Chain A
Amino acid sequence: MTAPDGIALSGVCKTFTGRGRVVEALRDVTLSCPQGSFTAIIGPSGCGKSTAMRIAMGLEAPDAGTVRIAGRAPLDAARAGLTGIAFQDAALLPWRSVRRNVEVPLEVLRRPLAASADHVGHLIDLVGLTGFENALPGELSGGMRQRVAIARALVTHPQVLFMDEPFGALDQILRRQMNLELQRIWAESGSTALLVTHGIDEAVFLADSVVIMHAGPGRIVERIDIPFERPRQPHLFSDPLFHETCDRIAEALHGG
């Protein structure tokens, strides 16, 4: 028997009805991410990327279709501590220090904090926030807050990692740096990663497979496999083949 897919959505539909407006956010979305794979979703604003991810995390129930995370129902997987989550906006608790924000998932899962103290310190170091452990979110820049959110997503040693535009507020240089770091962390952990992004180059650099969505109704129109071998190095960003792939994705985004 083979291991179940890390993330499996099949035939997922979701329609929002709010104040007389009906939005078909997702129509028949089927997506499977094999265990240990890295998948990126790209698409215009409002095409349902976040909705698809919220359904995968169990925050939203689909109108139709099924969702399995590591072979389980989404919330069961969450309760078992299999998932790690970084939202579109950092969603830090403003009254908690950086360190205590990173610890939130541990508290929800009722894991002993003392046992993870070293790991938490290591993660804060990894995202380059050493020295800011006791700072409050209000005292950090937008980019620093997002890095806290990334550290928080990794704190449970997740098998499945959900990231919704986690690098949105970072500058280009830091973003590249974080991309490299993310690739390393992901490769080490062997987790299944799903990344929503607006950056084509970021998607191509990180993912094994890029999924392209269109809006109205939100749906998957194409899935492009990225063949570059790992670990991918920074010079890949200037490879002509890399640019060719980016162009193909840009075309798929605009066309159809």
Chain B
Amino acid sequence: MAAEPIAPLRGLRNLAILLAIWEVVGRLDLVAGGALPGITEILLRLWEDRGDYPRHVWATLAASGAGFVIGNFVAVAAGVLFALSPVALRLFRGVNIAVFALPPIAIAPILVLTLSGMAPRIVLAALGVYFVTMTATVIGLSQADSRATDLIRAYGGNRRDELRLVLFRGAMPSILAGLRVAAPNAVLGAILAEFGGGGRWGLGAYLLGSLGRGEPDRLWGIGLVATLIAGLSYGAFALLSRRVAGATRAVTLNSAIPDVSVQAGGPALRVALAGGTIALPFVLWWAFIRLTGVPDLIAKTPWGVVDYLFLAHTAETAQARLFAALAETLPITVLGMFAGLGFAFALAVSSRLAPRAIEAFMPVALITQTMPLVALTPLLVLILGRGPSLTLWVTISVTFFPAFVTLAQGLALVPRSAEDLPRAYGAGRWREIGMVTIPASLPYLFAATRLTVPRALLGVMIAEWLATGRGLGNLLNQSRGYLDYGMIWTVAAVSVLLSVVFYQAVVIVERRVLRRMGMATAE
């Protein structure tokens, strides 16, 4: 007992061991002929490149900072609106799901087509934070202590008084926790847009420029800096929320789209709302194009995409190319996602058997949560080459870590007494896991699946774009080169649509299964 250091120290010790192993492995060029340099080599290279970094870092920081502020402003305003008006929440459900599920890389090119300068980066960063903060706001506001709001109402206060005196302050911890998760998302969004945008400055541009040069130490350096920025932004808000709210909450993203059932108003209203929910994203798309005033040739409205894909004289070849790409992308997405989820599930469940081992692994899992996906992919390219196995591994790694964190944190909530019961009757460890741990983890498994659906598609598309030259990601990249605007918009629309459909499918299965088991959806 006495020899075991306390948890934070043990984390540090594990980190030190990890770094030492990394250094040795890197120095000896054990991984893929030097694709993984030693830590000190990376640091030395960082020092050599020190003249390049400030402008790149500054560009990324400026874009993600602006996007963070704007996105959160919109998100909090929307959250307040949704918390006050169930009808609005219902109406915007489609938009909210689309924003959650859209793979940023798919819409980066269309933002670059329609906006100019820093705007695409800012918008993508803002989109990255919107969902997290909006959800946190709605949840925070609707979880307000009903006794406190009763008090306000009992003195004749209206909804505004409730908001002013109780709700907003009460939602603060939740909103701050949201900002914490949102901050790295803004960095990721900005880098992704830099990537598809062809600007000169920014870490994404730097990464792209360094990709072909076969200099692992530089790529790792950029990856580390990007991770550091994302991690620091997370840490800053973690500190702030600890200060302000004294609250610590899960690091995982809430992937349940807030929803309500609108009872009043009868079936007519309900049908109208359902129709509106589906129509609104397309209306916004259309309005966005009209407002930016970009010519029809470049910016396609929803109708423009339908025309391109089904009516124009080139429709047949367009369809053929799209389907060929889908046939490459979809199987590997599904396969990678299930493999990642499966690993995560197995590891999380067995973590009940060996809590210590998992605890050592947790910091790594948390770091990868904040590590910008785009920075990860080139590193995996170095190690794995450009074949399909790369895509698979990217997908597994982007699904595995968040799923594992969600599951492990969910399982930690299972009361010990629930597990003690079978044991008290003499059940063995495995029996106990079968009776308690696995059923109890189901809601979290679904939550993890919802979370990983969009990430899996994003991971595959990034790998395809950057490395393998196959599938949807490649089609998108190629179409940029050919100025095939119709295809750019089509791929963007189709990938968002796919993501939404996947997500909805998971939600429906989840509802069925959990209802049958009498369990509630995990957030």
- CB within 8 Å of B: which residues of A? 54, 57-59, 75-76, 78-81, 83, 85, 87, 89, 91-93, 95, 104-105, 107-109, 156, 162
Contact = CB atoms under 8 A, between A and B. Distances in A.
A91 B165 contact: no
A223 to B, nearest CB: 25
Which A-B residue pairs are the 5 nearest by beta carbons?
A: A79-B156, A91-B147, A78-B156, A108-B157, A108-B155
B150 interface: yes
B153 interface: yes
Interface of B: 145, 147-148, 150-157, 161, 165-166, 169-170
A117 B240 CA distance: 33
> What is the interface of chain B mostly: helix, strand, loop, or mixed?
helix
A91 B161 CA distance: 16
Contacts of B150: 54, 59, 87, 91
Given A59-B150, A104-B165, A108-B161, A91 B155 contact: no
B169 A95 contact: yes
Contacts of B153: 58-59
11 contacts: A59-B150, A59-B153, A87-B147, A93-B165, A93-B170, A104-B151, A104-B155, A104-B165, A105-B151, A105-B155, A162-B154
A108 B169 contact: no
B166 A78 contact: no
B521 to A, nearest CB: 16
A83 B165 contact: no
A59 B208 CA distance: 61
B241 to A, nearest CB: 14
Contacts of A91: 145, 147-148, 150-151
Contacts of A85: 151, 154-155
Contact of A57 (B145, B154, B165): B154
A108 B152 contact: yes
Contacts of A156: 155
B169 A83 contact: no
B520 to A, nearest CB: 12
Instruction: Pick the most buried of B147, B150, B153, B156: most chain A CB atoms within 10 A of its CB.
Output: B156
B147 A78 contact: no
Given A91-B145, A93-B166, A108-B165, A78 B154 contact: yes
Contacts of B166: 93
Given A83-B154, A109-B155, 8 more contacts: A58-B153, A75-B156, A76-B156, A93-B165, A104-B151, A104-B152, A104-B155, A108-B155
A49 to B, nearest CB: 15
A59 B150 CA distance: 7
B247 to A, nearest CB: 11
Contacts of A162: 154
B165 A58 contact: no
A85 B157 CA distance: 13
Nearest to A106: B155
Contacts of B170: 93, 95
A89 B147 contact: yes
Nearest to B146: A91
Nearest to A84: B155
A63 B106 CA distance: 54
B154 A59 contact: yes
A93 B169 contact: yes
Contacts of B161: 107-108
Contacts of B156: 75-76, 78-81, 108-109
A81 to B, nearest CB: 8
Nearest to A82: B156
Contacts of A57: 154
Nearest to A87: B147
